Amino acid sequence: MVDAVVQAAVGIGVIISLIFSELLGASAGGIVVPGYIALYLDKPMQILGTLIISLLTWGVIRIVSQFTLLFGKRRMVLSILVGFILGWASRVMVIQEFTIYQFQMVSIGYIVPGLIANWFERQGFWKTLSTMTIAAVLVRLVLMVVFGGEV
């Protein structure tokens, strides 16, 4: 059942992302991001952790772009790589003998923060965040209908 929910969430997220992209001209942080965010709407600390890692990744991308030509594939690859490293670091970071796991503020996956950061750079923070939030809520609502509230 869990695999079916994840597959459905990603599939529905892709469809909703494409609709938003075509109708509104706004991306929801990457084509698979709304599906993954929708699965974690009941875990706000993980969403917050993902957003923090995404913002840090975006900051690194902005700094690096001042010293090199960074656009297209280069920016995307660097965003995913930096997001991956920071997401991994969020899982192993220890603060005064408390692991970050106790706060449940780890990023969602390893690729999601980099995708979000790339879209922060491409279309801006507020546009990406608002589109991603609306798309994730829509995905979650469709999942609740499809699976009878069991998500």
Q: pLDDT tens for residues 83-99?
A: 999 988 877 775 545 55
Q: Which residue's structure tokens are 């192993």? A: 92
Question: In degrees rounded to 5, what are phi and psi of residue 94?
Answer: -120, 125
Residue 125: predicted pLDDT: 95
Residue 149: predicted pLDDT: 78
Which are the contacts of 30, defined by CB distance < 8 A and separation ≥ 6? 17, 112, 115, 116, 118, 119
Please state, in angstroms and rounded to a whole number, the distance separating the CA atoms of residues 9 and 7: 5
Task: Quick: pLDDT tens for 25-62.
Answer: 888 888 899 999 999 999 898 899 899 999 999 999 99
